[in-house]
Amino acid sequence: MATLETLHAAAGAEAPAFDIRRPSAGPAGPLVFASPHSGRLYPDAMMAASSLDRETIRRSEDVLVDDLIAAGVEHGAVIIQARFARAYIDVNRAATELDQSMFEDDLPAFAQGRTARVAAGLGAIARIVAEGQEIYARKLTYAEAVERIERVHRPYHAALSGLLAEARANCGLGVLVDWHSMPSAAAVGANGRKSDIVLGDRFGAACAPAISSLVEETLRAAGYRVSRNVPYAGGYTTEHYGKPHTGVHALQIEISRDLYLDEMRLTPSGEYDRLKADLVRVFERLSASDWSRMR
C-alpha cells in the first residue's frame, strides 16, 4: 500500500498537476519513478480549440503506465505521475520547445525552440497526435502556452527536482526511472528487429552502466526483447536530470504497447497482468542494489 500526496499546480487551480506516491512502510530509497505521459486530463479550453475528439487524442497517451509501475512504492520508490495529458503540455520537453507555426502571435526569441521534436510536431505543446493528425482547429496564443506551462510544466519539474534532491540528501544519490510506452509499430531496435522494451540512457551519459545493465538483464531473463537507445535514447527529462557526476542517474524505459494493451481500444490486453508482474521483478532488483558502488 502507498500513501498519496497530492500537490496542486498553483493556488486556486481546478486540478492538481501531478500526484506523488510514497512508500507507506519505511523510508524511501534513492529510486524516483516518473510517469509523465499517462495523464488523462483534457481541459475544456483545449478541447474547444481542437479539431479532434478526446479518444483520438488519447492515442498519444502512455495509457495505464502509471498503473503498471504503481507497485514501485512497495519496493522503496517514490512515484510522480503527471495528471494532465501530454497533448495539453508535455513535461518531457523543455518549456521552450514551442512551434511558432501553431501560434497567432510572435513567440519570444527564447521560446522558439526549433528542435527535432518541435519539427516533428511533438514539442512542449504537440501539434499532432501519434498518427500525424493535426490537433488544433485554430492558432493558439502565447498566453495559452504560458498558462499551460505555469499550471503544469513548471510545478511538475519543481516537484521532480525536489524529489531527486531529497533522494540525494537521504541516500547519497538519486536514481530517476522515467517510464513510457511506445506504439508497437515504432518499436524497432538497433538491429532493425522489433523490440519489446527500449532502454534510453543517452548512450551511457545519463546513468551508470550498471543500472542499465541490471534492468536489461532482468527483462531479458523474463523473455523480453530489449534494446538500448534506438529508437529512443531518452527525452528531455533523461537528458536534463541524468548527470551521474552530480549523483543523479536517469534511465528512460519505453514499453511496446502491444505487450499489455489493445492499441485500438486502449484497454488492457490478456497479457497485462503478466507484464505488471514481470516489472515487479525489476523493482525488486533495483531496490536491492548496492548503490554505494554508484556514488
pLDDT in tens, 189-214: 667 789 999 999 999 999 999 999 99
Confidence of residue 293 (pLDDT cuts 50, 70, 90): confident
Give the whole-number percent of the chain exceeding pLDDT 70. 94
| Tally of domains in the chain | 1
Question: Does a structural domain hold residue 116?
Answer: no
Residue 138 has φ and ψ, to the nearest 5°, of -145, 170
Cell numbers at 29, concatenated: 530509497
pLDDT of residue 189: 67
Question: Does a structural domain hold residue 78?
Answer: yes
Question: Does a structural domain hold residue 64?
Answer: yes
Confidence of residue 83 (pLDDT cuts 50, 70, 90): very high
For residues 68 and 180, the answer to whether their CB atoms sit within 8 Å is no
Question: Does a structural domain hold residue 123?
Answer: no
Mean pLDDT, the chain, rounded, equals 92
Residues 104, 91: Cα–Cα separation, whole Å: 23
Question: Does a structural domain hold residue 218?
Answer: yes
> Which long-range contacts does 106-109 make (Cβ < 8 Å, 24+ apart)?
106/142, 107/142, 107/145, 108/142
Q: Is the pLDDT of residue 5 over 60?
A: no
Average pLDDT over every residue of 23-48: 93
Domain extent at residue 288: 2-86+151-293
Question: Does a structural domain hold residue 68?
Answer: yes
User: How many C-beta atoms lie closer than 10 Å to residue 5's C-beta?
Assistant: 12
Question: Does a structural domain hold residue 243?
Answer: yes
Q: Is the pLDDT of residue 67 over 60?
A: yes
Write out the DSSP string of the chain. Answer: -EEEEEEESSTT-SSEEEEEEEESSS---SEEEEETT---B--HHHHHHBSS-HHHHGGGS-TTHHHHTGGGGGGT-EEEEE-B-TTT--TTS-TTB--GGGBSSPPPGGGB---HHHHTT-SSS-SB-TTS-B-BSS-B-HHHHHHHIIIIIHHHHHHHHHHHHHHHHHHS-EEEEEEEEE-GGG-B-TTSSB-SEEEESTTTTSS-HHHHHHHHHHHHHTT--EEESSS----HHHHHH-BGGGTEEEEEEEEEGGGTEETTTTEE-TTHHHHHHHHHHHHHHHHTS-GGGT-
Residue 5's DSSP bridge partners are 20
Question: Does a structural domain hold residue 132?
Answer: no
The CATH number given to whatever domain includes residue 166 is 3.40.630.40
Over its C-alpha atoms, the chain yields an Rg (Å, rounded) of 18
Confidence of residue 113 (pLDDT cuts 50, 70, 90): low
